Amino acid sequence: MTLLRLVLLTLLLRSGLLLLLLSILLLLLLLLSLSLLLLLLLLLSVLLLLLSPLLFLLLSGLLLLLLLRLSLLLLLLLLLSVLLLLLLLLLLLLLLSVLLLLRLLLLLVLLLLLLLLLVLSLSLLLLFLLLILVFLLSWF
């Protein structure tokens, strides 16, 4: 059985499937960092709105449109990264039935999935709170 695993690992390394899985993992980390950067930009724009109500009165339509676009882009990026991470998890589960060496990688992917779901839930909660805040500020 160990000879079969060694042969399969050699085939995986030669076919580039392991490299493909690692590149998908790096792409997911890039998407996660980009979504966190967009979330930071969204928080910064809301902080600017809170600190200067005169600017809010002058540019309320443009800033509200910018906030809505940023929030939609953030949601799309987070959902895309969750879908890609689930696809990677499915591929790793298929490979795990054959290779025992990928258990550490699967554990890493599961931890990244939990982190991504935590960021997704917190960002969605923050996004709804920010949209409610912008809606309330637009009344005044």
Q: What is the DSSP code (8-state) at residue 59? A: S
**What gap in Å lies between CA 137 and CA 134, rounded to an integer?**
5
Q: Express each pLDDT in 35-45 by its tens digit.
A: 677 777 777 77
**What gap in Å lies between CA 131 and CA 114, rounded to an integer?**
25
- What size, in residues, is the chain? 140
Those residues whose C-beta lies under 8 Å from the C-beta of residue 131, and which sit 6 or more positions away, are 67, 68, 71
- Could you tell me the pTM of the whole model? 0.42
Q: Express each pLDDT in 4-21 by its tens digit.
A: 767 766 766 666 666 666
What DSSP string describes 95-114? HHTT-STTHHHHHHHHHHHH
Q: Express each pLDDT in 49-108 by its tens digit.
A: 677 766 656 666 666 666 667 667 777 676 676 677 777 766 666 665 655 555 666 667
Q: Which token pair is 83? A: 């879908």
